[in-house]
A and B are shown apart, each in its own frame.
Chain A
Amino acid sequence: MMNFNKAIAVSVLMVGISTVPAYAADNDAGSLHVQGTFVDSSCLIAQNELDKQIDFGDFAKSTVSAVAQDGVVFSKPLTFNITNCPAITNSVGIKFDFDQVDFGKNYIKNTGMGKGAVFGISSGLDTNAIPTGSKIETTAFNEQTATINAQVNIYRTAENYTVGDLKSTANVTLVYN
């Protein structure tokens, strides 16, 4: 019983130590928290395949109106060549994070002035737009290399057309497990 109480006391003490600083914040205090992981090896991808500017150029309203709502007006491929994956890698993918539209679709918000069409990301196999935070991956490796095929599409939306630029951004991250 005594041992039990001591153990509880130690437990309570540990909890107290870990939580007290959170309530003792002062305007002359600070902290540094560094966290991370080193691994034996990782998949690699050329940085210029992750940083890209893709310009579809000009297109007319009539081109958009010829497509059904949520249909794809134009597509451009996004190809990611991944190398040097550890032999135990099960799958590798590209994760897309972006500011998603707020009208219930998986499209990327447009920061330009144009309306009636927006960008979206899909796999290379179809044009189904993926939601933010999703990844397009493959399990097909050839000597620890893999290719991921995605595409960026321009979709027609239900909005009334407004002439102007379409501009969107997506952050991409190489992921694997």
Chain B
Amino acid sequence: MCFKKHKRPHVTNIVKMVLNDNLNDGHYLCFGRDVAQWSLGFSMAKLERNSMNKSMRIFLLATALSGAASGMAFADDTSAQTGTMEFDAMLTEGSCVLAGNTIDHNFGTLSKAQPTVTTTSSGNFKAYKVYTDKISVSGCPAEFTEVLMTPTFYTSGNASNIVRNTSASPNKTNAIMLIGGESGITNLYSSGVTQKFPISGDTGGAEITLVSQIAQDMKQQASPGDGEYNVTLAFDYD
């Protein structure tokens, strides 16, 4: 869109003031917007050259100023390039932070003849090796009051609280594993049974003691062979 400078000083001065630019006779000032409005100004300028009187020039001036003001409103040249951005997130109840929850032990070589180190409180089992591990639970949201831990494992026979030896070796020991919450394991954990641990209001966490015993029935002796015992621990919070 273009505007041609008028020869009459009052028109030129006003346009210069609005547009902040110098116009020379016979040149056109062009803008990137409002084509229709500035074209109208150009047409009227031609009319002026032929027969337009003073009042018509006033009309032209008003039109030109209208175009100038409108052009100024589009200071930004906006490209046709647009896009859409989508933002997503999920606000959750939250969870506690676990540490020490992946436990791996290798008891190496044990002699079936070696003295046992402890027995369960029931007196039915003797242990050749005992592991005591600590699982740290921290950063719990204030609304949580307890940690729910559910061990799952292949059981031995009909006893849901004896961890079966799942070694793939053709030569497997008959030793089993027992798990519980304290050294004497007065309460053997059973597969699929949830254990609950209170969350401290002061610390927002809990420390879970997990005791594992490689053991054998008191009436039997461990047989030579390989042993492998796996327990999956699932944690939830309430």
Q: What residues of chain A have their CB less than 8 Å away from a CB belonging to chain B?
A: 3-4, 7-8, 10-11, 35, 37, 39, 42-45, 47, 49-64, 74, 78, 93, 95, 108, 112, 114-117, 119, 135, 152, 154, 161-177
Contacts and interface: CB of A to CB of B under 8 A. Distances in A.
Contacts of B36: 35
Nearest to A117: B91
Q: Dominant SS at the A interface?
A: strand
B90 interface: yes
- For the complex of A and B, the 10 pairs showing the least CB-CB separation, nearest first, are A50-B83, A60-B94, A56-B89, A114-B91, A7-B56, A62-B141, A51-B83, A166-B89, A174-B81, A3-B53
Contacts of B52: 7
Interface in B76-130: 76-79, 81-95
Nearest to A89: B77
A14 B209 CA distance: 93
B201 interface: no
Interface residues of B, number: 35
Interface of B: 32-33, 35-36, 51-56, 59, 75-79, 81-95, 139-142
B81 A166 contact: no
Given A39-B32, A177-B75, A61 B85 contact: no
Given A35-B35, A175-B77, A175-B78, A163 B91 contact: yes
B91 A116 contact: yes
B59 A166 contact: no
Given A7-B53, A35-B36, A173-B78, A61 B94 contact: yes
